[in-house]
Structure 1
Amino acid sequence: MPKLRLIGLTLFALSVSVGTHAEEKRYVSDELNTWVRSGPGDHYRLVGTVNAGEEVTLLQENSDYGQVRDSTGRTAWIPLKELNSQPSLRTRVPELENQVKTLTDKLSNIDNTWNQKTAEMQQKVAQSDSVISGLKDENQKLKNELIVAQKKVNAANLQLDDKQRTIIMQWFMYGGGVLGAGLILGLLLPHMIPTRKRKDRWMN
């Protein structure tokens, strides 16, 4: 009977010292497999191990130990120093690797998109350069044609001036010839008329 009372008092003391605690997620540290015990202390027997990095549910805790439930539903006590509030590296590393891969893929897509846009811009610039070069050639061609046309106009003007001078000279020559012929006729006609007829005219 005294033994039963002693066991009851011990259990009551443990329940008071442990108290209640809301269930929380915790993660076993990244060390090697950690031993768990049947109670909150080093003097309790070992009941097994939990894997490093394993996710467990914290049921309650005292100053040094916490009661946890693992993925199999087993409850045991583990030193609080072996529990972390953040996922273990074994869990985070694959996630980080996936994030790195995702970011790498995004960067690769951005790089490919940028290269494609750069190639398109270079193609547009090359096309623009070709168009500009063609316009320059066409402009130079038109300038050359304009120079040739101006030379033809100047030559035509010179020919026209020569023809005008030739026509003017011809008119002067025709006019001078007519005037000279009239003058000669004026001088010769009186001598060509018979004198008798002139006397008859005077007598009449």
Structure 2
Amino acid sequence: MLILRSIYITLLTSLTLAAFNVNAAENRYVTEDFSTSLRTGPGDNYKVAGTISAGEKVELLSSANKYAQIIDSRGRTVWILLDQLTTEPSAKVRVPELEQQVKELTDRLASVDSDWNQRTTDMRQKVDSSNSVINGLKQENQQLKDELAAAKKKVSEISVQLDDKQRAIIQQWFMYGGGVAGVGLILGLILPHLVRRRKKDRWMN
């Protein structure tokens, strides 16, 4: 009797499936209840085939009335109430995905932060290097200014010395010229007297 009953249930299930509109297999998720009963057929009068955990991912095969035929994670082909399924992943599935997304975003943020720190360090090094070059140029410019001022001072001193020497030379020339002029004047006054005296001496002889 038990064997015949099993055969009868199997045939009835097959006939029932043939009468249903069989849809392409789709993924569904058990709702967030603690557990849901599974049945061997699409009705409350069918034997309970076990339970399934909340949030578990299942594969939808077909539907009839308020029941859906599914394949669970254990590979069982069973029936479950349609309102116990949802197209949205449960928290059991979403939480690990969200955790993975958070981890990826955290890693990316750390990478961006590290890259930004490296760029900031490079920019600071460039700024420090530029400041060093600028300070070096300022020092060199100040040194050139100091050297130019010293050169101008030296030129001024040399110019003063040249002016003094020129004045001394001019004074010497004036002195020499005055001496020559004086000698010439004296000779001019004395020579005529000497010439006259010689003539008188000749006449007297």
Q: TM-score range by the shorter chain?
A: 0.7 to 0.9
User: What is aligned with 2:20?
Assistant: 18
CA shift for structure 1 position 49: 0.9
User: 2:14, 2:58 → 1: CA distance?
Assistant: 26
Q: Secondary structure at the match of 2:23?
A: coil
Distance 1:79 1:48 in 2: 13
Q: TM-score, normalised by structure 1?
A: 0.85
Aligned 8 A contact 1:36 1:50 in 2: yes
The reply to whether residue 132 of structure 1 matches residue 149 of structure 2 is no
| Secondary structure, counterpart of 1:57 in structure 2 | strand
The residue number in structure 2 matching 1:3 is none
**How far does the alpha carbon of each residue in 1:13-69 deviate from its partner, in whole angstroms, 9 at most, with x for none?**
845763322221212123212111122122322110112222211111023110111
User: 2-side partners of 1:79 and 1:167: how far apart?
Assistant: 132
CA distance in 2 between partners of 1:59 and 1:69 (Å): 7
AA matched with 2:28: R
Count residues in correspondence: 197
The alpha-carbon deviation at position 183 of structure 1 amounts to 1.0
List runs of 5+ in structure 1 lacking aligned partners. 1-6
* CA distance, structure 2, for counterparts of residue 169 and residue 135 of structure 1: 50
Aligned to 2:39: 37
Check conservation: 1:17, 1:62, Cα contact below 8 A: no
Contact 2:13 2:41 in 1 (8 A): no
Q: Distance in 1 between matches of 2:203 and 2:13?
A: 191
Which residue does 2:87 correspond to in 1?
85
Summarize the alignment of residues 1-204 of structure 1 with structure 2, pairs less than 5 Å apart: 14-15=16-17, 18-193=20-195, 195=197, 197-199=198-200
Q: For residues 109-161 of structure 1, what are the alpha-carbon distances to aligned partners after superposition, in whole Å with 9 as ceiling and x for unaligned? A: 11011011101111111111121112112111211221121111112111111
Aligned equivalents of 1:116 and 1:61: distance in 2?
59
Structure 1: which amino acid aligns with 2:173?
A: W
Which one-letter code corresponds to 2:199 in the other structure? R
For 2:53 and 2:164, locate their aligned partners in 1 and report how far apart those are by CA, in whole Å.
Answer: 117
Is residue 58–residue 68 contact of structure 1 (8 Å, CA) maintained in 2?
yes
Superposed displacement of residue 166, structure 1: 1.2
Higher mean C-alpha displacement, 39-48 vs 100-109: 39-48
Aligned mates of 2:167, 2:13 — CA distance in 1: 143
User: Relative to 1, partners in 2 of residues 1:146 and 1:11: Cα closer, same or farther, differing over 3 Å?
Assistant: closer
CA drift of 1:77 comes to: 0.8
**Which runs of 5 or more structure 2 residues have no equivalent in the other structure?**
1-7
SS of the aligned residue for 2:132 comes to: helix
Q: Kindly state the Cα deviation for residue 74 of structure 1 after the two structures are TM-superposed.
A: 1.4
Quote the RMSD (CA, aligned, Å): 2.7
C-alpha displacement of 1:93: 1.1
TM-score, normalised relative to structure 2: 0.84
* Aligned AA (2:34): L
